[in-house]
Amino acid sequence: MIRKGSAEWKGSLKEGKGTVSLESGVLKDEQYSYKTRFENGKGTNPEELVGAAHAGCFSMQLSAFLTEDGYEPNKVATTSEITFEDGEITKSHLILTADVPGIDKDKFDKIANKAKESCPLSKLLKAEITLEYDLK
């Protein structure tokens, strides 16, 4: 399977602007710029997109591992805080809220950390990956 995302940039770094699109069409010609990446401009940026991808990947991996162990989650909600400093992504901090009936904290901790290490985006990132969670 191959999935595609694309970007186009026009102009210099600070004055230029670009667009990003996804093959699925969910994002199409979404604006990004120096301001959206390093300041507070309107639009998206690469780190925000990586954060959403990592949160989604981790949530799916956790759900799969919970199901394999006989637990059916009611809800898994993850936010990824991406740290970008000195020209590189140095950290993805996963913040998770999960509602998983019948699971104890020790078992959940083991499965959640296994998912953190195993999801394909975690394997792709060379950054430090941390996890905190609230188990309901």
What residues does each domain of the chain span? 5-38, 51-135
Q: What angle do CA 112, 116, 118 make, to 5 degrees?
A: 110
Interval 43-88: pLDDT, tens: 999 999 999 999 999 999 999 999 999 999 999 999 999 999 998 9
Q: Return the percentage of the chain with pLDDT > 90, whole number.
A: 88
**pLDDT at site 103:** 97
Give backbone dihedrals phi and psi of 91, rounded to 5 degrees, phi first: -160, 145
Residue 93 near residue 113 (C-beta atoms within 8 A): no
For residue 136, is pLDDT > 90?
no
**pLDDT at site 40:** 86
Specify whether domain 51-135 bears CATH 3.30.300.20.
yes
Q: How many CB atoms lie within 10 A of CB 86?
A: 5
**pLDDT at site 29:** 95
**pLDDT at site 127:** 84
Provide the residue type at 41 as one letter: G
| 16 CB burial (10 A radius; 0-12, 13-18, 19+) | exposed
